[in-house]
Structure 1
Amino acid sequence: MIKIRTARFQIGQIVRHRVFPFRGVIFDIDPVFDNTEEWWLSIPEEVRPHKDQPFYHLLAENADTEYVAYVSEQNLVADDSNEPIRHSQVSEIFVRDKSGCYRPRNPSLN
């Protein structure tokens, strides 16, 4: 049986990957892994995350491009740079307040 943990990060929070050079803003959270088995098996076994942890959907970016990422909690850390996310879809989902935090445009959807 899978034990569900409380998510460490929240929707609207900016995070970065522990290993790979990308960051993003969280727009959805799965309490446990909820992607395809094929996707999970495509990750090399020595770095494959456990399924029994929160997984985050990010509007992500690196130096070259913008994309949507699906990342396990163990591979994320908070990004305290206060730099805005440039992803083209951020403004569809979020409003950035004066303090630099992202707030859902329509909080009732969460």
Structure 2
Amino acid sequence: MTEHPTTTATATFGIGEVVRHKLFPFRGVIFDVDPEFANSEEWWEAIPEPVRPRKDQPFYHLLAENDESAYVAYVSQQNLIREDGGEEVGHPAIPQMFGGFEDGRYILRPEVRN
């Protein structure tokens, strides 16, 4: 049975979880989740077609880091894996959004919650 193209998948990851990209060398902490693609068409079309993700899945906003910099990333669920190493992410915006790091997961500050 094939999935209907308008079916939205359930989010696998939650806010505060540390994840790693499957294809590119970066990791980050999730600070927001879109139930399906909610970025611009230009952004989506800029992704090379062989690795362009489906739109009918959750997309995650990450405070991301690689060996060279810290930045915000927008990544499809299919391209993320949970990182179980328990190592903190070194993004400078983390203290503004999260109040602590327990059991490999960041705790969202109460004043940041919607």
TM value normalised by structure 1: 0.93
Equivalent residue number for residue 39 of structure 1: 43
CA-based RMSD: 1.5
Count of residues paired in the alignment:
110
Distance 2:88 2:52 in 1: 30
Q: 1:108 to 1:43 in 2, by over 3 A?
A: closer
Matched AA of 1:39:
W
Q: How much identity, in percent, do the aligned residues show?
A: 55
Unmatched runs of 5 consecutive residues or more in structure 1: none
Q: Normalising by structure 2, report the TM-score.
A: 0.90
Structure 1 residue ranges, 4+ long, deviating more than 3 angstroms after superposition: none
Deviation larger for 100-109 or 35-44: 100-109
- 1:54 maps onto 2:58 in alignment: yes
Which runs of 5 or more residues in structure 2 are unaligned?
A: none
C-alpha separation in 2, matches of 1:34 and 1:95: 27
- Map of 1:72 onto structure 2: 76
